[in-house]
Amino acid sequence: MSYELIEKLKEQYKNSEKWYSLRWHYIEGCILKAYLDSYEQTGHEEDYQFVKQFIDRLVDENGDVEQIDINYYSIDQIRMTAILFTLYDKEKDSRYKKVIDLIYKQLETYPRTESGNFWHKSNYPHQIWMDGLYMGQPFYVQYIKEFEVNKDYSDTLNQFRQARKLLFDEETQLYYHAYDESRKMFWSDKESGLSPHVWGRAVGWYVMALVDILELLEGENVDTSELKDLLTEAVDGMLRYQHYSGMWYQVVEFSGRKGNYLESSGTLMLSYALLKGARLGYLSSEYITFGKAAFDGTVEHYVTVEHGEVLLGGICKSAGLGTHPETGVVRNGDYEYYISGEPIVTNNGHGVAPLLMAYNEIKLLINSRVPS
């Protein structure tokens, strides 16, 4: 398959703020990570400068970020902060380190469930969302690796272990979107505490977290076999539901049900995890076939050109649980909510970021197969 349109999308996307905002937000953090990964693989300075210039409009000369509220606990704001490790390593600018230290310090008082997992946010108390493992844990691990004398990763290992215990369904071999230990939320099952369904992107966040953390822990004095087993188990469970196109449905366990749709962002996150996991040896090489099928299937199904602009469609704009803190919209997590309660959009960062992350892996795969 030709990937010229993906190259064009990559260039168009960073040169226009039409599709994203200048904000300290996890979506923009994921977009920037995709370009940083590309820079680290290719050395293309334009990708690095895009990231640096974006960050430098948010971090002032004193190393303060107006959009960070240190008194508000949100696992989401940690994702963006992880971008600063690469910038600090390259620039040695103390402003970046100040922000990194600020967010790491907050983890000391971050509220937790009884299982030891970070709450998703202050306004989502006692809750574990699969999304949160990607938002917080890679940053947590990287800080310990780079700056702590006592490199103890047991907290992260336990949080993944507990997520598996609380959110994994043995029968379907799938992870539910979220868990409420209080059983008080209207969306949670009163016996299990679980949300009603398996959302593809939630599992995508989870497996991306696993492969990124495993990469960070290379060479560290820690047994990562448990994380590798969790990765294999999670992707094997999802592969049981992979559509013949290579994609996954929005509500995974109801693949093919009326109203359900093949969703881009979750599929591309799984593609990234499968390809990267196989490249680094956390998964066997046979998983490359499934990861590439997911990527190619999404490109074939949803990448189009309109008025000279490359577009990625089929993206769930957002999905959460409980009452939205800004809009007041009530999200009960039932089937109808996931398929019609949130808009399906084009070129949203939730989809473009993993598209570009997975594309970085596709390029490495192609290059590894080119005869010398």
309-347 confidence digits (pLDDT tens): 999 999 999 999 999 888 888 999 999 999 999 999 999
pLDDT at 371 over 60: no
End-to-end CA distance of the chain: 21
Domain ranges of the chain: 4-367
pLDDT tens digits, one per residue of 192-243: 999 999 999 999 999 999 999 999 999 999 999 999 999 999 999 999 999 9
Question: Between the CA atoms of 86, 92, 96 and 101, what dihedral angle is there, to the nearest 10 degrees?
Answer: 90
* 46 contacts: CB under 8 Å, gap ≥ 6: none
Spatial distance between the Cα atoms of 298 and 294, rounded to a whole number of angstroms: 6
More confident: 314 or 15: 314
Q: Which residues touch 160 (CB under 8 Å, ≥6 apart)? A: 133, 137, 210, 226, 227, 230
Computed over every residue of the chain, the mean pLDDT equals: 96
Domain 4-367 fold: Glycosyltransferase (1.50.10)
Q: So what's the pLDDT on residue 370?
A: 53
Q: Do 297 and 288 touch, CB atoms closer than 8 A?
A: no
pLDDT value, residue 369: 73
- Phi/psi for 335 (5° steps) reads -60, -45
Q: What is the mean pLDDT of residues 244-250?
A: 98
131 is catalytic: yes
Model confidence pLDDT, tens digit, residues 340-369? 999 999 999 999 999 999 999 999 999 887
What pLDDT does residue 372 have? 39
Residue 184 above 90 pLDDT?
yes
Confidence of residue 293 (pLDDT cuts 50, 70, 90): very high
Percent of the chain scoring above 90 in pLDDT: 95
Chain segment 93-115, per-residue pLDDT in tens: 999 999 999 999 999 999 999 99
Contacts of 5 (CB under 8 A, 6+ apart): 299, 303, 305, 310
Catalytic residue among 47, 76, 131, 180: 131
**pTM exceeds 0.85, yes or no:** yes
What is the structure's pLDDT at 328?
A: 87
